[in-house]
Amino acid sequence: MRRNHTRPALAFLLIAPLLVGCLERGQPTMVDTSGDDDTYCRANNTVAPGSADYVTCRKDRDVQRQRADAKADRAQRNLGEYMLNNPSRP
């Protein structure tokens, strides 16, 4: 009897790319928004880079972004819980 050892290796090679997506753990990729924040905070040349007002503006933009991310995460979690608790059966 001859054993074929290539079959499990081939199956692993076909399944491995599908399992790599599980390693992400739901963390989104970081997006560089410093250009947008800089443009927003320097609009109309009213705030000079490096000044206290500029730093405050950048911090406010960071807080706004964090709140928006938290709101989107909360909405997604609520939708998932709703779908689990209220399954629709056709």
Tens digit of each residue's pLDDT (9 = 90 or more) over 27-74 = 555 666 666 888 888 887 778 888 888 889 889 999 999 999 999 999
Checking if the pLDDT of 1 tops 60, the result is no
Q: Please name which of 41, 64, 36 lies closest in space to residue 51, comparing C-alpha atoms.
A: 41
Stated pTM of the model: 0.54
Q: Hey, how many other C-beta atoms are within 10 angstroms of the C-beta on 6?
A: 8
Please report which confidence band the pLDDT of residue 90 belongs to, taking 50, 70 and 90 as the band edges.
Answer: low
The confidence score (pLDDT) of residue 34 equals 62
The confidence score (pLDDT) of residue 68 equals 93
**Strand stretches in 1-90, DSSP E:** none
Contact 58, 37 (CB under 8 A): yes
